Amino acid sequence: MSVYEPNSRHLREVLIFCFNMKKSAPEVYRMLSNIYGEAAISEMHEYCLSPKSDEEKKIQNSHALYGRKIGYAYTGDFISTIVLNIIVKCPSIFSTSMFSIPE
């Protein structure tokens, strides 16, 4: 029976899984070094610092743009929720009597 050798794609998927599980960096480091050894950690580090092909750069840029769009949508939703809460909970601020001219 052969020994499993993790490749860089597998290790990236493991990192994404750990990120989605909300693991901290020290937890992930301990977990990966216990499972795969220090060699896997250094391999991931080398991969992160290595030059990328054009296709990999396009994929990374598309992920970054998607994240930025999600951030804008979340911010817009958050601000609109705050404004609606102010309008609903404090209708006296926006009443017409406040803006009428006294006689």
Q: What's the DSSP call for residue 50? A: S
* Residue 94 confidence (pLDDT) above 70: no
Digit-coded pLDDT (tens) for 11-54: 778 878 888 888 888 888 888 888 877 776 777 777 767 777 78
Do residues 41 and 32 touch, judged by C-beta distance below 8 A?
A: yes
pLDDT above 70 for 98: no
Q: What is the pLDDT of residue 102?
A: 57
Decide: pTM greater than 0.75: no
| pLDDT at position 78 over 60 | yes
Using the predicted structure, report yes or no on whether residue 75 has a pLDDT greater than 60.
yes
Residue-range domain boundaries for the chain: 8-93
Quote the tokens at residue 102.
């006294």
